[in-house]
Amino acid sequence: MATGETKKPRVGLFVTCLVDLMRPSIGFAAVRLLEAAGCDVLVPAAQTCCGQPAYNGGDRASAKALALRTIAAFEGLDYVVAPSGSCAAMLKRHYPRLMAGDAAAEARARAFAERVHELTAFLVDVRGLNAVPGTFAGRVAYHDGCSGLRELAIARQPRALLGAVQGLELVELADREACCGFGGLFSIKYPGISDAIAERKTAAITAAEPALVLAGEIGCLLNIAGKLAREGSDIACRHVAEVLAGEMSAPPIARTQVRK
Amino acid sequence: MLAKIRAALRAGPTDESRRRALEARRAAPVRPPVPARARVPEPERLAQFKACLAAQGTDVLPVAQPSQIPGAVADYLRAHALPLRLRRGADPDLAALPWQDEPALVVTEGPARADESVGLSRAVAGVAETGTLVLASGPHNPVTLAFVPDTHIVVVRCEAIVGGYEEACERLAAELGSPALPRTLNLISGASRTGDIAGRIVKGAHGPRRLAVILVEECRDQRLVP
Amino acid sequence: MTRAASPLEANAAAALADRRLQRALAEVPGGFAAARERAKAALPEFEALRRAARDIKDHTLANLDLYLEEFEDNATAARTKVHWAPTAAAASDIILAICRESAARLITKSKSMVSEEIGLGARLQAAALEVIETDLGDYLLQIRAEAPSHIIAPAIHLGAADIAADFRRHHRQLPPERDLASPEALVSEARGVLREKFLAADVGITGANFLVAATGSAIIVTNEGNADLTLSLPKVHIVLASIEKVVPTLEEAFVLLRLLARSATGQEITAYTTFVTGPRRPQDHDGPEACHVVLLDNGRSDLLGTNLREVLRCIRCGACMNVCPVYGAIGGHAYGSVYPGPIGAVLTPALPGTHDGGELAGASTFCGRCESVCPIEIPLVALMRRWRERAFASGSWRQRGMLRAWALLAAHPRAYHLMARLAVATLHLLARGRGAFSRLPFADRWTRTRDFPAPQGHTFQRLWARQQRKQPP
């Protein structure tokens, strides 16, 4: 290496199971953004799921086992970045708690947690990114996923990045900190209640009249997009990374064609 | 029951170290934070007290001297078309007022009766923090006068207005000559109200519909000085 | 009293279909939540007070036995009779005995969640005692034989028209031509009727928001003043309070009082904050001749020293349910418990006799809004998770099986990735180019009310691996 050249940080992308299965374009958008922020991106193949379903379902033992595997999969990387507030919170806040009583594992989990970041928080707070590849002319609303908002204080960062998108007009939703009703398995364990909560969210979205609603959380997006589609709404849904990275070739979530 | 609690806390009944720790804590307490609004100095304190009372919808009747109280009360009752009858406790400060100056006003003494229309009490202190009146029950101040009548009028001296609740307790202890509390210590911050019907706030749900405060701004009479 | 015995989902369905309830839920909890935000914004020391309150509560709970002893000593010195009730039945027995002893016939009662919890009303009525709820909201429910649906505003599900109809039916002295059109008229009518009861009552029963160990006092707060009439007019005053209500000193009580009203309704303080210490003094002209405090355990001591003990910090402000999306959708009755909302989800399974087993804790999105507004920083989400852990450990093979299967698969990356590729490819094919499914055989619970987005067809891992192979290292 030439003298004076800073080594690029090696970032492990924690894809998240839902992005991996349902919408890989979010993963590619994340990669593009991380590279724009001057990082080398690696995607450890041994990763699967952060363990939230087990953890929140009360199966601590399985969650702990998954956590240890995840930590091992991301060994030796400078950062671990996830395009999801809930998965990042799981890795950053809850992995150490899962290891309580096991001093060695707890130490590993804490060291691991130090390196974990949610995507927009990483781009803004760690990499200082203030210019993004994407452009979008139109009204956009942003839904704050609860885990990212309350466990990782993510709110300012996605908005800062959206502010850098040429042509984009951001509108805030009424009661913007309200849950969308997804809650992981809650959405199918208590579908009636989940639906009622989702309706309040889509009513707020519809009232704001955006062309596009974004979030940093695929779970919320599947829920919101599914509800808006059932309501016959014209409002499109994407992950915030897609707009920021200019990765708009795929149709919006739950849509067949690309709409403006 | 105590044994069960101790078992849960893994503590023995003769665990002297715990008792000593509590003693130490009592002797040298860590004072919890007291908001700035409870420590407003004079003269802003009086203004804060009045502003809070106004926000509650409590009527404020300032008088320069205690001798003007009977007149202020009579005027207030007339202004609201209320009967010129009031009931007070045996409080010597209230008894010593020149009630004879308002002959039309019928003043009786004792605890509240069933259809009492106006009760008059003296507050031990007024708390500027939230516009709160501090009333201590006793032979001179029947507690029922604060709750049974339709209208409650409370006399407060300006120098009895303190910053926060903690100071009010100190003032009470000074007046009673002991830290022991009376049967009832009432902190009153407005007239009775409810929002239970269709979410609308309505006054006079059980307690007094109307609360008025007579603020004595000057004090020359010896008996009203502690 | 009507209390739902059916599972949460059935209750929830009924609640979601109840248009009057939904209208109330659209306004009232949010109104309280907004008022709380305003009160918080107006008090710069709010967060400092929250931390102090949490520490005060934790310290007290860690020394609960000693503080209860101190309370008993000081209360007794003020001539209060202190009773210890390990169970709900014991508490009701004690109260009944006191009522019999004083030949009571009419009892006035101010709001007490604990009295609901132990079913006191039913026991007193069974003993042919007339009991009148005096908190207006509770009174409205009493004449309808309904349970409260919110701990601060128990009758939020009722409209003015319902109440007028109830009064016409229930108040025998009410002339038919009397106007009951406005809330003012209704309050006036209730005031008149209840005034007679206050004055005639033999015994007054109140709850307590706090018990002060250093002075042997009970603190009772209201806006209506009904508690004050209940505790000053009758000959006998009974305070019913659960053991975790104790705070060490008046000074520490003020910290909690500064948070209570602000968190509950957004008021800085309620109209009436009353400290009672013992019965009337020898020279007093009014006040009760006897004052009793009944200390209730009913499952609280089982929580001490466990990983659920933070539940006991609760000061019953209701802030958690005012922001809870689940409560906001279904209201309080659907929980089938005296304590609804997030605090209900973590307290109810701990109470003897409730057959919840952690179901309420399962009905949460874990959004965390509740714990963000809790004045004493109860870690509600973590507590709900702990109940879920207990439920999982004792759950059926089937319930545990599904979660275990997913976790097992996720622990084997190659098998996982293979299964994932197969699943998404299949779903993508089934979608036939559409962006979402309006019906999906195994996902009916989702697709009943929402479309299910179709996956893009390949997994990210697969696409990434392909891309990596094309690029030179």
So what's the ipTM on this one? 0.95
Rounded to the nearest angstrom, the minimum Cα separation between C162 and chain B is 10
Residue of C275, C293, C308 to mutate, interface with B, max B Cβ within 10 Å? C275
Alpha helices (runs of H) in A123-190, residue ranges in sequence order: 146-152, 156-163, 186-189
- Taking CB atoms and an 8 Å limit, are A21 and C455 in contact across chains? yes
pLDDT tens column, C40-96 = 999 999 999 999 999 999 999 999 999 999 999 999 999 999 999 999 999 999 999
Spatial separation of the C-alpha atoms in residues B223 and B221, rounded to whole Å: 6
* CA distances in angstroms from A40 to A129, C36, C141, listed in the order given: 15, 47, 65
Residue holding tokens 């033992």?
A61
**What subunits make at least 3 CB pairs under 8 angstroms with C?**
A, B
Q: Do domains A10-124 and A132-255 have the same CATH topology?
A: yes
Q: Is the Cβ of C209 closer than 8 Å to some Cβ of chain A?
A: no
In the structure, what pLDDT confidence band is assigned to residue B12 with cuts at 50, 70 and 90?
low
Compute the count of residue pairs across chains B and C with CB atoms less than 8 Å apart. 237
Q: Alpha-carbon torsion A115, A120, A126, A129, what sign?
A: positive
Q: Considering chain A, what is the average pLDDT of its residues?
A: 95
Mean pLDDT value across residues B121-135: 97
Rounded to the nearest angstrom, the minimum Cα separation between C368 and chain A is 7
Asked whether A44 and A11 are in contact (CB, 8 A), the reply is no
**Tokens representing residue B213 in the block:** 């405060």
> CA of C422: which chain A residue's CA is closest?
A21
Residue holding tokens 């509770």?
C138
pLDDT at residue B225, as a whole number: 42
> Candidates 3.40.1840, 1.10.10, 2.70.50, 3.40.50; correct CATH number of A10-124?
3.40.50
pLDDT tens column, B50-104 = 999 999 999 999 999 999 999 999 999 999 999 999 999 999 999 999 999 999 9
Helix, strand or coil for residue B34? coil
Q: Alpha-carbon torsion C215, C221, C224, C226, what sign?
A: negative
> CA of A63: which chain C residue's CA is closest?
C407
Asked whether C436 and C452 are in contact (CB, 8 A), the reply is yes
**What subunits make at least 3 CB pairs under 8 angstroms with A?**
C
Rounded to the nearest angstrom, the minimum Cα separation between A85 and chain C is 12
E-strand stretches of C327-458:
436-437, 452-453
**Tokens representing residue A66 in the block:** 């998954």
In the structure, what pLDDT confidence band is assigned to residue A197 with cuts at 50, 70 and 90?
very high
Could you tell me which CATH number the domain at A132-255 has?
Answer: 3.40.50
**Tokens representing residue C356 in the block:** 């919840």
Strands C236-242 and C210-212 turn out to be unpaired
Spatial separation of the C-alpha atoms in residues C187 and B66, rounded to whole Å: 36
Q: Give C-chain residues touching A11 at CB under 8 angstroms.
A: none
Domain ranges within chain A, ordered by starting residue: 10-124, 132-255
In the structure, what pLDDT confidence band is assigned to residue B49 with cuts at 50, 70 and 90?
very high
Spatial separation of the C-alpha atoms in residues A168 and A139, rounded to whole Å: 6
Whether the predicted model's global pTM rises above the 0.90 cut: yes
* CA distances in angstroms from A115 to A36, A157, B182, C76, C102, listed in the order given: 19, 18, 60, 59, 69
Q: Considering chain B, what is the average pLDDT of its residues?
A: 91
In the structure, what pLDDT confidence band is assigned to residue A3 with cuts at 50, 70 and 90?
low
Phi and psi angles of residue A11, each rounded to the nearest 5 degrees, phi first:
-105, 125
Does residue C175 have a cis peptide bond before it, meaning omega lies within 30 degrees of 0? no
H-helix or E-strand containing A52? helix A52-56
Q: Give C-chain residues touching B210 at CB under 8 angstroms.
A: none
Asked whether C12 and C335 are in contact (CB, 8 A), the reply is no
CA-angle at A98, arms to A94 and A104, nearest 5°: 115
Q: Is the Cβ of C280 closer than 8 Å to some Cβ of chain A?
A: no
Q: Which domains does chain C have, with CATH numbers?
A: 7-29+309-393 (1.10.1060.10), 47-298 (3.40.50.10420), 397-470 (no CATH)
Nearest to C203 by CA among C127, C152, C138, C273: C127
Q: Which ranges of chain C have pLDDT less than 50? A: 1-6
- Cα dihedral C340, C341, C343, C344, rounded to 10, equals 30
Of A24, A250, A256, the CB nearest to C459: A24
* CA distances in angstroms from A94 to A60, A91, A98, C378, listed in the order given: 11, 6, 6, 17
- Taking CB atoms and an 8 Å limit, are C255 and B204 in contact across chains? no
- Taking CB atoms and an 8 Å limit, are A191 and C464 in contact across chains? no
Alpha helices (runs of H) in chain B, residue ranges in sequence order: 2-9, 16-27, 44-56, 69-79, 92-95, 165-176
